[in-house]
Amino acid sequence: MSEIIIDPKRRVELPATMEGKTVLIAGAAGFVPSNVAEFYLKLGAKVIGLDNFITGSRINVTLLSKYEKFEFHECNVYESLPDFSNTKIDYILSLASPASPIDFAKIPLEIMRVNSEGTMKLLELAKEKGARFLEASTSEVYGDPEIHPQKEDYVGHVNPIGPRSCYDEAKRFAEAMTMSYHRKYGVDTRIIRIFNTYGPRMRPNDGRVIPNFINQALKNEDLTVYGDGTQTRSFCFVSDLVNAIHNVLFSFDPTPFNIGNPDEYTVIDTARFIIDALGSKSKIVHLPLPKDDPKRRRPVLDKLQAISDYKPQVSFKDGIEKTAKYFQEHGMDY
C-alpha cells in the first residue's frame, strides 16, 4: 500500500451560503441523496434532481418539491440525461446507485450500468459544464477486508464474480472512471467511500441491518442475525454523513475519502441494543451467513479529520430512536 500524504494546512473552506449555485444530484429520490438535496436547498442552492425510481421514493421528491429551487427530471442516467445546454451547473453529485444487498440479486445489471455508463455520462456533463464532480463510492470497494480498520490506501479484497460483485466491482470501476477523467481532462473531481448509514427516508424493507432490526423489533418479531453475529459494522446517522459529504465536496483532494462513523458494533450487540432501545419483546434467531459478507467494517477517518472539523454528532441511541419513529410514521409502504 502507498501511504496517503495529507497536508493539514489545506483545510476545507465551507461556503456560508450556496445562493446562486446549482447542484445536480443523480439519484435524488433515494435515501442519502434526498437528504443531501435538502441540505443544499436549505443553504440556498438550486438543486436539480434526477431519478428513475428503480429504488427511490416518490415521497422523497414530494418532500423536496416544497422548495422553490428544486427541479426534478425523471430519467435513467445511464440511458440519457435531460438537455442542460442552457443550464448553469456548478456541482454534480453522482449518488444514483442502488446499494442494498437485496438489490444485488434483483437488479445486478442496472447497478453495473448506472455505475459505469451512468457515471461516464455525468462525468461528460461535468467536463462540458466545468462543474465539480463528486462520486459516491462505498466501503464495499474494500470487499471482505484483510486489514482492520480500513484506510483509503487499502486496495481491497473483493471477489470479482461473487453475489456482491455487481456492486463492489461497479463502484471500483466508477472510482477508476472518475480518476481517469480527472487525469485526462482535468475534471475537478472528488470521491467518497460511504460506510453503513441509516436514518429517516431509508427504505423500511431495505434488507440492511438497521431497517431489518428496527422493523422486526417494532413488530416484536424475531430479529434475524446472519451467522453468529460477531461480524462488525460501523453505523453513521444520515445527517452526519451529509456533513461529511459537504466537507469532502469543498476539500482540495481528488483522491478517495472514507466517510461515516468509526464507532464499531458487533451485529449481535446491535440487535440487543435495538431491542432494548425500542422496548421490544423480540428474541434473536440465527440464519446462515451470506457468501462474501464482510466480517469487519470500520472506517479510518484520519484523512478527512486532518483537513476539516468533521466529527459525528448523533449518538447511536438517538439515531435509532429517530429512525424507528420515522418508520412508525410512514409504515412499510415508504
**Which domains are present in the chain?**
22-197+236-261+300-314 (3.40.50.720)
The active-site residue, picked from 167, 181, 198, 310, is: 167
Q: What is the pLDDT, as a whole number, of residue 294? A: 80
Contacts of 280 (CB under 8 A, 6+ apart): 217, 218, 220, 274
* Residues 272-327 pLDDT 10s: 999 999 999 999 999 998 887 788 889 999 999 999 999 999 999 999 999 999 98
Residue 178 has pLDDT above 70, yes or no: yes
Average pLDDT in the 140-167 region?
A: 94
Of residues 265, 279, 292, 258, the one with CA closest to residue 328: 279
**Residue 65 to residue 63: CA distance in whole angstroms:** 6
Is 167 one of the catalytic residues?
A: yes
Question: Percentage of the chain surpassing pLDDT 90?
Answer: 88
Confidence of residue 3 (pLDDT cuts 50, 70, 90): very low
Q: Is residue 2 very low, low, confident or very high in pLDDT (cuts 50, 70, 90)?
A: very low
Q: Give the model confidence (pLDDT) of 18-38 as tens digits.
A: 999 999 999 999 999 999 999
pLDDT band at 334 (very low <50, low <70, confident <90, very high): very low
Whether residue 186 is predicted with pLDDT greater than 60 in this model: the reply is: yes
Q: Is the pLDDT of residue 165 over 80?
A: yes
Mean pLDDT over the full length of the chain: 93
Mean pLDDT of 208-224: 93
DSSP string for residues in 297-315: --B--HHHHHHS-----S-
Cβ contact 92:126 at 8 Å: yes
pTM: 0.94
pLDDT tier for residue 8 given thresholds of 50, 70 and 90 = low
Q: What is the CA radius of gyration of the chain?
A: 19
Average pLDDT over residues 140-150: 92
Helix, strand, coil shares, percent, the chain, to 5: 40, 15, 45
Return the pLDDT at 292.
74
Please check whether residue 12 is in contact with residue 307, taking contact to mean a CB–CB distance below 8 angstroms. yes
Residues contacting 19, CB < 8 A, separation 6+ = 43, 44, 45
Q: Which three cell numbers stand for residue 42?
A: 436549505
- Model pLDDT, residue 86: 97
10 near 33, Cβ under 8 Å? no
Between 328 and 65, name the one with better pLDDT: 65
